[in-house]
Amino acid sequence: METFLLLAHPVTGGLATLAALWVFVDTLNAGESSVARIKNISLICAILMWLTYFLGGYFYVVYYYVDKAFIIKGPWAFGYSFFMELKEHVFLMLLMLATYLPVAAYSYVPSNKSVRKLVLWVAGLIVPTSLAMEGSGAVIALAAKVALLLKVKGV
Amino acid sequence: METIEIGKYTKSFGLSFAITSLISALLVILKETNEETVLAWMKAVTPHHWITHGIINIILFVALGWALSMPNSGQGLKISANALIGSIVASTLISNLLIAGFYI
């Protein structure tokens, strides 16, 4: 279960990022035929982000304390003190932003330049923020790995 | 003909996001600098302070989004698209900088 959660949450997070990127690109080149697609993919982005929240959140609340104990004692303690803290708190903002994406996208029609601009900005903010979350996750995983390697080597 | 109007819920929930995001970032600083009171309360309410933080955000986001759609006899807020986008972008950047800056 622990390993599944550890692997599943960056996958759903990555897919949510791709969905936001899809919405951004589709909106950039939007026509009548892309309206339904933009609305559907924005909803999928929000659903995937909520799934990431529950999967990653369950791992964080139930299992993370073991990793945390190793990371804090290891040479990459910043994996916990900066990257994990950043990730767990910025993600809460990202979740709301992804939830807002379909709210904005559902009033989209190609003639409405204002909503088009809004959807572009919201999707455009989700992508780099999500990538920062994925990157932070990679640093945290590496911080745990470095700590465990040194423990195995007896350093 | 170009349509320039945006829906009342698009405006209200956009502004709700901007406000909630800033409050969430300030709550991070507040709970971390008041471990005996704020953080202790957040740990007592649910099994983990992060769960409490998330619930506060979600309740605030939904409640503000609904409340901000009510003004002007239910017509919603009078705010331009540029002002709405500006508040969302500014809030996102400031919130992220507040959180990152606090933990550096």
One DSSP character per residue, A34-55 reads GHHHHHHHHHHHHHHHHHHHHH
CB of A111 closer than 8 Å to CB of B1: yes
* pTM exceeding the 0.80 threshold for the entire prediction: yes
Query: Residue B90: how many CB atoms within 10 A of its CB?
Result: 13
Q: What pLDDT does residue B51 have?
A: 96
Q: In chain B, whose CA is at the least distance from the CA of A102?
A: B10
Percent pLDDT > 90 in chain A is 83
Position B1 pLDDT exceeds 70: no
In the chain, the amino acid numbered A3 is: T
Position B4 pLDDT exceeds 70: no
Weakly modelled stretches of chain A, pLDDT under 50: none
**Chain A residues touching residue B85 (CB < 8 angstroms):** 117-118, 121
Chain A residues with CB under 8 Å of a chain B CB are 53, 57, 60-61, 81-82, 85-86, 88-90, 92-93, 95-97, 99-100, 103-104, 107, 109, 111-115, 117-118, 121-122, 125, 129
CB burial string B43-52: b at 16+ within 10 A, e below: beeeebbbbb
**Chain A residues touching residue B81 (CB < 8 angstroms):** 114-115, 117-118
B 67-96 near A (Cβ less than 8 A): 81, 84-85, 88-89, 92, 95-96
Query: Residue B1: how many CB atoms within 10 A of its CB?
Result: 4
* Residue B87 placed within a domain: yes
Residue B76's pLDDT band (cuts 50, 70, 90): confident
pLDDT, chain B, mean: 93
What is the number of domains present in chain B? 1
Position B37 pLDDT exceeds 80: yes
* Residue B2 placed within a domain: no
Domain boundaries, chain A: 2-153
Return the C-alpha torsion angle A124, B27, A140, A144, nearest 10: -170
* CA contacts within 13 A on the Cβ side of B85: 17
Q: What is the ipTM of this complex?
A: 0.92
In the chain, the amino acid numbered B48 is: H
Position B2 pLDDT exceeds 70: no
Cβ separation of B24 and A114 shorter than 8 Å?
no
CB of B3 closer than 8 Å to CB of B72: no
